Amino acid sequence: MTSIPLSEPLGTCMPGFSGTITGFTSDNKDIESASVEQLREMGFTEGLDIAVLHQNPFGRDPIAVRVGAMTIALRRQQANLVQVTAS
């Protein structure tokens, strides 16, 4: 039997995590759809490699992630919209 890798929100991943973007999720479709579109415009696309580089040691916001060859800072609220699987 083949196991299906579980996806998790990017915002829950700690520095050192590396994986692949599997999709986007949102509980509130009206408010978050604009945020998902903004993430897509910044280069977040399904299938791309992603790594969590740094996080603020005090409030944990923002986090720095590497998507492909870009380094981007995100709030956890935005990062939680991105679903990832560990590689």
Q: What CATH number has the domain bearing residue 59?
A: 2.30.30.90
Number of domains the chain contains: 1
Q: For position 46, what pLDDT does the model report?
A: 95
pLDDT (average), residues 2-29: 84
The domain of 58 spans 8-86
Q: What is the pLDDT of residues 32-82, one digit of tens each?
A: 678 888 999 999 999 999 999 999 888 778 999 999 899 999 999 899 999
Looking at the domain assignment, is residue 3 inside a domain? no
Assess whether pLDDT exceeds 70 at residue 2. Answer: no
Placement of tokens 């604009």 in the chain: 34
Q: For position 29, what pLDDT does the model report?
A: 64
Looking at the domain assignment, is residue 80 inside a domain? yes
Looking at the domain assignment, is residue 47 inside a domain? yes
Alpha helices in the chain (DSSP H): 29-42, 76-79
Q: For position 75, what pLDDT does the model report?
A: 92
**Residue 36: CA count within 13 A, CB half-sphere:** 16
Q: For position 6, what pLDDT does the model report?
A: 85
Residues 63/81, Cβ–Cβ less than 8 Å: no
Cβ atoms within 10 Å of 63's Cβ, excluding its own: 22
